[in-house]
Amino acid sequence: MTVWDASQWDYRGEGNANLVIYYTGCDHELVGKALRLRKIKCTSCSKAPQCQEDARTCVDTLQNVFKPLIGEEYTSNMVQSAVKLSQRKDVNELARFGLLGEDLLNSSVAVEVKPKWGFLPQVEGLKQKACRFCMHSHLRGSPSHYCPLDLYSGDRDRVRTALEALAKCPSNNYRVLVNTPFTDEALMSLMTEILTTDPILCNLVKLQMSLDEWDVERIWPLYEKHKHEVDDLTTDQWIQAVQNFKNGQCRDDPKQRIMEYVLSMTFKDCSVMISIGNSADKQIEWQLQDRWLSTSYSIKVIDLDLKAVHRIGHWYDLDQKIVKHAEESQFAPKCVKNPA
């Protein structure tokens, strides 16, 4: 067990499943690193092996399942770390094993965007007119001016409209960390240029669509019939499913279709982290008012955690609830369908 000084780590942020802290000390091996810990208590010896196995699985699936799909340049390298932070009760009670990787917020400006679903499924009815995000927001009673179809459109005006809507009402879908002076206008202009120039959103929506050709309305009955075949899937089986998908093989196999749908759900819920400045590996020319500027940036896709197959039933029930509410309330969508 590696023991680190808690005073050299600080809180970075958290989601529903994970808490992230980052290193503030002088150890050259840890400078620029962040540690992600699952929000599961494993203080007892009996739970420690499961925590270790979960961390190992996360590393394996990121490296061998998601990286071959989204591409190496868009994924960060993570290593499993057995760790105990001395005198830090909040972390010690969470997990003994975490994921150590690059601190993507350690830059001049960092922007995290959770784009959500970027396409309309090929099914009859309201789903061909309204996107999932807008209908879900309507169900929650918290309508948003943000529509993912705008962000994925590739059109500069629509992309900027989407970013401005996210900035106005970020919820859990937009976060900005500014370590150097940067105006709102400059950030909007630069982000718009990056997201209309870099292929990341195009790649992401293609994965969402091609992994989910049947929609949950067809996947759910398939899962009900074949659920015994997809219990306790191994990492090797997920790797094989990815290879089948990339090679266009076994697409008619129920197990393959079920696994592809689960993979699509991860890409519908991941985040895109854009780091500007430090450690950036790309260069972009962009215009601010009447000036042309050159800026370095990098993009990584994060939150690539494999979803549980047994959640298909929950996803189907939620899907039906969302659509039913939209139909009964005569929801009038403002979504603009993107070109195929």
Residues 147 and 292 in one domain: yes
The answer to the question of residue 336 being in a domain is: no
Name the burial class of residue 302, with classes exposed (0-12), middle (13-18) and buried (19+) by CB atoms within 10 angstroms of its CB.
Answer: buried
Quote the pLDDT of residue 179. Answer: 85
Asked which of 41, 73, 102 is the last residue of a domain, the reply is: 102
Q: Give the residue among 23, 35, 68, 56 at the shortest CA–CA distance from 238.
A: 68
Displacement of CA 49 from its chain's centroid (Å): 27
Residue 339 lies in a domain: no
Alpha-helical (H) ranges within the chain are 48-61, 67-70, 89-92, 132-140, 148-151, 156-168, 184-197, 200-211, 215-226, 235-247, 254-268, 312-328
For residue 168, what pLDDT is reported?
93
The whole-number pLDDT of residue 43 equals 53
Q: In the prediction, which pLDDT does 278 show?
A: 65
Contacts of 273 (CB under 8 A, 6+ apart): 104, 105, 110, 111, 112, 299, 300, 301, 302
Separation of alpha carbons 116 and 152, rounded Å: 10
- pLDDT given at position 268: 98
pLDDT by residue, tens only, the chain of 340 residues: 576 787 899 998 887 778 899 999 999 999 999 998 887 665 544 556 667 788 888 999 999 999 999 999 999 989 988 777 765 555 555 656 789 999 998 889 999 999 999 999 989 899 999 999 999 999 999 888 999 999 999 999 999 999 999 999 988 899 999 888 889 999 999 999 999 999 999 999 999 999 999 999 999 999 999 999 998 899 999 999 999 999 999 888 999 999 999 999 999 999 999 999 866 789 999 999 889 999 999 999 999 999 999 999 999 999 999 999 999 999 999 899 887 6
Clarify whether residues 95 and 202 are in a common domain.
no
Query: Does residue 335 sit within a domain?
Result: no
Q: What is the total count of domains within the chain?
A: 2
> 233 with 309: CB under 8 angstroms?
yes
Measure the CA–CA gap between 17 and 38, rounded to whole angstroms: 6
H/E segment holding residue 115:
none
Is 12 in the same domain as 83?
yes
pLDDT of residue 89: 57
Domain extent for 55:
2-102
Domain boundary pick from 41, 71, 102? 102
Which pLDDT does position 281 carry in this prediction?
A: 84
Quote the pLDDT of residue 12. 87
**Residue 279: per-residue pLDDT:** 61
Q: Is residue 333 part of a domain?
A: no
Closest CA to 152 of 69, 224, 209: 209
- Both 216 and 244 in a single domain? yes
Q: Do residue 159 and residue 10 come from a single domain?
A: no
My answer on whether 119 and 93 are in the same domain is: no
pLDDT value of residue 84: 72
- Give residue 81's pLDDT: 84
Q: Do 251 and 272 lie in a common domain?
A: yes
- Domain end point (choices 72, 102, 132): 102
The whole-number pLDDT of residue 24 equals: 93
The string of DSSP letters for 213-238 reads SSHHHHHHHHHHHHGGGSTT--HHHH
Claim to verify: residue 173 and residue 202 sit in the same structural domain: yes
User: Is 208 in a helix, a strand, or coil?
Assistant: helix
220 & 310 share domain: yes
Would you state the pLDDT for residue 97? 76
What pLDDT is stored for residue 19 in this prediction? Answer: 85
